[in-house]
């Protein structure tokens, strides 16, 4: 996704596409952290396969005596 940089007074400004404005529910006067926005956009452009690879890479082995407790998981 490309964003256009333009002049705003003596500063430069980035024009945000409608898709981003709607997705993050932005409005005039809002402050955004450009680094967080970039990370969020990067994650949204990740393919399904890339996302699955990241999940697999983060997996940690469970203890041999581990047992999933469905009742405990649903108690929240």
What global pTM score does this model have? 0.43
Distance CA 35, CA 24 (A): 14
CA angle 36, 42, 45 (to 5 degrees): 145
What is the tens place of the pLDDT at every residue in 12-61? 998 888 888 888 898 998 988 888 877 777 776 677 888 788 888 888 88
pLDDT of 35 = 84
- Nearest Cα neighbor of 37 from 57, 67, 14 is 14
User: Do 11 and 18 form a contact (C-beta atoms < 8 A)?
Assistant: no
CA angle 28–8–24, rounded 5-degree value: 30
């Amino acid at each position: 996704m490309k964003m256009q940089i333009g002049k705003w007074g003596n500063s430069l400004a980035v024009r945000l596409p409608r898709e981003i404005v709607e997705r993050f529910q932005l409005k005039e006067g809002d402050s955004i952290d450009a680094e967080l926005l970039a990370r969020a956009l990067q994650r949204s452009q990740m393919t399904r396969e890339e996302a699955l690879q990241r999940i697999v890479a983060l997996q940690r082995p469970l203890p041999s005596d581990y047992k999933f407790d469905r009742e405990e998981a649903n108690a929240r």
